[in-house]
């Protein structure tokens, strides 16, 4: 089994169940020293950031789930690369597989992408302040962040 840290749309339970049917959620986790970005590829990535934190979900993957996820993340095309990083879960640090985007330049998200990520984060009860930060990446920007704060963006 491989531990995998999801910080973007792979936090969403239903899509992960379709992509990786035997994946088991291990729970919310945090990656310190990094920050969430949307890159010019239009999807989530992380970049090193002293003092930063990325919240997400830790999953246990069987080998066939890992193969499916590698294909989904376009690993062969170079869209993402894999890294093993320490994530904090329930007061302990676990080494987990993390996909890091090839691009570091910030861009605009694909339509509906940020809303999917925020909804998944809310489902996992990630910190409200963090969800508001994620919502600022939506094309509606501040309005989406405010909707998270008042509970309107699901």
Selected residue with higher pLDDT from 87 and 77: 87
Could you tell me if 47 and 35 are in contact, meaning their C-beta atoms sit under 8 angstroms apart? yes
CB count, 10 Å around CB of 81? Answer: 12
Given a cut of 60, is residue 45 above it in pLDDT? yes
pLDDT in tens, 9-31: 999 999 999 999 999 999 999 99
Per the prediction, the chain carries an average pLDDT of 90
- pLDDT band, residue 79 (cuts 50/70/90): confident
Give me the residue spans of the domains in the chain.
2-106
Within 8-153, where are the H helices?
13-19, 63-72, 113-123, 128-135, 142-149
State how far the Cα of 107 lies from the Cα of 115, in Å rounded to an integer.
16
Share above pLDDT 90 across residues of the chain, in percent, rounded to a whole number: 73
pLDDT value at position 144? 47
Count Cβ atoms within 10 A of the Cβ of residue 71 and give its class: 0-12 exposed, 13-18 middle, 19 or more buried: exposed
Q: Taking the model in full, what pTM does it have? A: 0.88
pLDDT value at position 145? 45
pLDDT value at position 141? 58
Share above pLDDT 70 across residues of the chain, in percent, rounded to a whole number: 90
pLDDT in tens, 99-152: 999 888 899 998 899 999 999 999 999 999 999 999 999 887 544 444 555 455
Name the residue among 27, 11, 3, 6 with its Cα closest to residue 95: 3
Instruction: Select the CATH number that applies to the domain covering 2-106 from these four: 3.40.720.10, 3.10.490.10, 3.30.450.70, 2.40.50.140.
Output: 3.10.490.10
């Amino acid at each position: 089994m491989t531990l995998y840290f999801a910080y973007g749309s792979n936090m969403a339970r239903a899509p992960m169940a379709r992509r990786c049917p035997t994946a088991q959620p291990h729970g919310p986790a945090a990656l310190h020293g990094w920050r969430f970005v949307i890159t010019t590829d239009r999807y989530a990535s992380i970049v090193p950031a002293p003092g930063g934190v990325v919240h997400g979900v830790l999953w246990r993957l069987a080998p066939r789930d890992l193969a499916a996820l590698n294909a989904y993340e376009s690993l062969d095309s170079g869209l993402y690369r894999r890294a093993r990083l320490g994530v904090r879960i329930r007061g302990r640090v676990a080494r987990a597989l993390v996909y890091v985007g090839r691009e570091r330049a910030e861009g605009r998200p694909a339509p509906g992408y940020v809303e999917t990520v925020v909804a998944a984060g809310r489902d996992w009860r990630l910190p409200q302040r963090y969800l508001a930060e994620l919502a600022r990446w939506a094309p509606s920007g501040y309005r989406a962040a405010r909707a998270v704060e008042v509970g309107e963006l699901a």
